[in-house]
Amino acid sequence: MGRVSRRAFAVAAVATLSGLTMAGDAVAAPGVAGAAGATGRHRPTRALRGMWLATVTNRDWPSRTGLTAAEQRAELLAHLDTAVRRRLNAVVFQVRPTADALWPSPYEPWSQYLTGVQGQDPGWDPLGTAVREAHARGLELHAWFNPYRIANHTDPTRLVASHPARLHPDWVVPYGGKLYYNPGLPEVRAFVQDAMLDAVRKYRIDAVHWDDYFYPYPVAGQVFDDDAAYAAHGDGFPDRAAWRRYNIDRLVLETAARIKKVRPSVRFGISPFAVWRNAATDPLGSDTRAGVQTYDDLYADTRKWVREGWIDYICPQVYWNIGFAAADYAKLVPWWAKVAEGTGVRLYVGEALYKAGDPAQPAAWQDPAELSRHLTFAADFPQVRGHVFFSAKEVGVDRIGAMARVVADHYGKPVRTPR
């Protein structure tokens, strides 16, 4: 199914989704694919070579809060230059890390990760600069948004007084030491879309990108308190889990349709936790034994979004080494290739560069060649159209030379991104 037909489907599906009462899969698909499903070494003429540029908690950029506008800009441009030096062609820039903004937004405050004070104008426009400077360097700029995370603490009074979460305390759920917007409220779903789409309207970004945060990851002994929302909106669903998946499906479908309406050239991609379901849970699942399954724990039916063509690309975070018992890279990549086959949805693989050389990681990650082997393995699957590396800091520092090895082995010549 091509881009136009998939987008048309998404627009039509929004109108009919109100009748959806439980997550299903309208397209039959084979089960787990093994290495035998490989079709031969594949060297696409177009491929995505990306890196995530994280701003939450100042992970990658800015290096700390309170830098001058000129210092922040210089650091940002240095990251873009690093991407070029590594022969990458896309940067996934986190512009809404915690219900805030890295551009002048009428919906949400300036991010605290710029100045150290939420709501304080940094004196320049990071997203506008990133788009312009990335394009000048031949890089795509994918704007990365987190739909529901409000804060990495549970004290609403620490938010700026004008924050929507303080103006609408009934939208907020504290859980696991953080604050979240409640995905079960239609008004929340509309608001977070409005906030994200403001950037789509204002800037010539190449894609809207989400990561793996939908309903929060489970925390032992804690309950995500959406009782009131379920009582108000959960009629007709077999259980709360089905209702929660419906809420996330609605968010995906509605956002896809609205992006198409606002700026048809902008793609929509999602980078989920890589295990949809274990095969022991569902015969359609992967040969894994992961403790988290996105369908059951995050209420994100990631396989369905691909099989039904609701999004333009999927970039599962396959953050494990080849041979890792619970979640083997060499089993997950073929599984995702089979899921994407015939859908028209681009498959990119998220790579855990941050693990390379980390002494806390298994022995495989102490080998500079581990990541290069990932790309060699994935090349046997034509559905894989690129890789994205987490994250920018490690792309630059490259503590054991794993990124340099990837570049030497696989990125000998520049390539354009898939369209």
pLDDT given for residue 42 in this prediction: 57
- In this structure, of 37-46, 157-166, 211-220, 381-390, the range with the lowest mean pLDDT score is 37-46
- pTM assigned to the model: 0.91
Average per-residue pLDDT for the chain: 91
> What are the tens digits of pLDDT across the range 168-180?
999 999 999 999 9
Backbone phi and psi for residue 145, each to the nearest 5 degrees, phi listed first: -120, 145
Task: Return the exposure string of 166-203: e unless at least 16 CB atoms fall within 10 Å of the residue's CB, then b.
Answer: beeeebbbbbeebbbbbbbbeebbebbbebbbbbbebb
pLDDT given for residue 17 in this prediction: 41
For the chain, percent of residues with pLDDT exceeding 90: 89
* Residue 131 in this model has a pLDDT that exceeds 70: yes
In terms of Cβ atoms closer than 10 Å to its own Cβ (0-12, 13-18, 19+), residue 16 is exposed
User: Mean pLDDT across the stretch 367-391?
Assistant: 98
pLDDT given for residue 236 in this prediction: 97
pLDDT given for residue 258 in this prediction: 98
* CB distance 180 to 216 below 8 Å: yes
User: Mean pLDDT across the stretch 127-156?
Assistant: 98
pLDDT given for residue 268 in this prediction: 98
Domain segments of the chain as ranges: 3-410
pLDDT given for residue 41 in this prediction: 59
pLDDT given for residue 142 in this prediction: 98
- In this structure, of 18-27, 110-119, 205-214, 285-294, the range with the lowest mean pLDDT score is 18-27
More confident residue, 10 or 175: 175
> What are the tens digits of pLDDT across the range 200-209?
999 999 999 9
* Residue 135 in this model has a pLDDT that exceeds 80: yes
Cα 171 to its chain centre, rounded Å, is 23
pLDDT given for residue 45 in this prediction: 84
Cα–Cα nearest to 181, from 153, 151, 155: 151
Cis status of the peptide bond prior to 126, with omega within 30 of 0: no
pLDDT given for residue 419 in this prediction: 81
CA dihedral sign of residues 35, 322, 402, 339: positive
Q: Find tokens 């503590």 and name the residue.
A: 399
pLDDT given for residue 84 in this prediction: 98
* Structure confidence at residue 65 as a pLDDT band (50, 70, 90): very high
* CB distance 312 to 3 below 8 Å: yes
> What are the tens digits of pLDDT across the range 225-273?
999 999 999 999 999 999 999 999 999 999 999 999 999 999 999 999 9
pLDDT given for residue 89 in this prediction: 98
Return the CATH architecture of domain 3-410.
Answer: Alpha-Beta Barrel (3.20)
pLDDT given for residue 381 in this prediction: 98
* Residue 20 in this model has a pLDDT that exceeds 60: no
* Residue 4 in this model has a pLDDT that exceeds 50: no
48-53 and 149-151 strand pairing: unpaired
Torsion of CA 31, 34, 36, 42, to 10 degrees: 100
pLDDT given for residue 43 in this prediction: 66
